[in-house]
Each structure stands twice: as C-alpha cells, then as structure tokens.
Amino acid sequence: MYRFDISVNLIFLIMKYKKILIPIIFIASLFLYACPYSEPEWNESSETDYKPILMKREILEKSIGVIEGKEIVSPGKIYVKGNFLYIVEKYEGVHIIDNSDPANPAKKGFITVPGCIDIAVKQNIMYADNAVDLVAIELSENVSEIKETSRNKNVFPELVPPDAGWVSIDNRPENTVIIKWKK
C-alpha cells in the first residue's frame, strides 16, 4: 500500500510541474544525443616501433615466484614497509631490499611478476598487476615464504606500446597476454 501512495504522489507531482519538466527533459536528451560514444579510430599514424612480448595465460598464472636478488635496470614505483623497500622493475617484478642499514642496503630477493608496473601494500599483502590480472602476494621477512594468495583475472586492460595509444595485433596466438613491449 505504501509503495502505491508514493507512485500516485509522484504522478501528481509530474502533472503539476509538467510545464517545467518537459523542457528540462528535452534539453537533457539533446545533450545526451550530442555526445555519442565512439570507439577509438585506427589510423596509420597509430603504428608503433615496439613489438609485443606475449605469454601464454597458463604460464602467466604460474609466474609469481621469488628468485635471488638481481640488478635494478628499469625501476618504477617504490614502496617502503618497515625496514624493507619494494622496488618495481618495470614489466618484470619487484625487488626486495632490506634497508635496515640505509648506508648498506641488501638485496633480499626478487618477486617475479611479469607485466608488473604498479604495486600497493596493505599490512602484509602486496597487490600487483600481473599484466591484465590483479594478484595478492603475502609478504614475509623470510623471503622464501613469500607466495601468491589470490588472483583476479582480466581486471586491467592490456598493456599498450609506449609510443601509441592503441594497437591491434593480427595473427595473435590464442590464450596469450601481452606482458611488455620491446623496441
């Protein structure tokens, strides 16, 4: 009964103010019509000098792991948690640096995360982009105990080449994901 009363009252309000509402609805519809959605257009100027590096989805889903620390070549985002620094190695993974002695930082390991360009840490969980997937990685002071705890598939759009906004890849193998672009 209560829902019916609201509907009747709404109809009476619309009828009472129809001289004002009809022009407002008409103008609003013109604005919506004037801004249609369109897909990005492909043209010859969108070509790229980069080649996509592809990985099979099955391999991507098993790619998270910890290896021995390695040289920082292409650093990205840096996250500080306690005495540890987590430094993104663009498209490769995350360096783990023990910074308890800032004059002598020590490489503790490297978390392989293909396609990674961004991380965030909350409590003892690191969230990272694993190409198109979002993965949660449980951190530990004992590097050998670091492991993937969950994965959300296809959360992010595929990586695009640095010199173009969008590129179509012809003859692409099935079930592959772009993990980086190489010049």
Fold classification of 44-182 (topology level): Lipocalin (2.40.128)
List pLDDT tens digits, range 111-121.
999 999 999 99
How far, in whole angstroms, is CA 83 from its chain's centroid? 27
List residues bridging with 80 in a β-sheet.
85
Closest CA to 111 of 80, 70, 65, 148: 65
Report whether pLDDT(176) > 90: yes
| Helix (H), strand (E) at residue 138 | strand 133-138
Query: Over the stretch 17-43, which tens digit does the pLDDT of each residue have?
Result: 767 766 776 676 656 655 554 444 444
Label the pairing between strands 51-56 and 119-122.
unpaired
Sign, CA dihedral 164-166-171-176, equals positive
Are the C-beta atoms of 35 and 167 separated by less than 8 Å? Answer: no
Q: Of all residues in the chain, what percent are helix, strand and coil, respectively (each to 5)?
A: 25, 35, 40
Domain boundaries, the chain: 2-34, 44-182
pTM over 0.75: no
Higher-confidence residue: 49 or 33? 49
For 38, the token pair is 């369109």
Question: By C-alpha distance, which of 158, 135, 130 is closest to 52?
Answer: 158
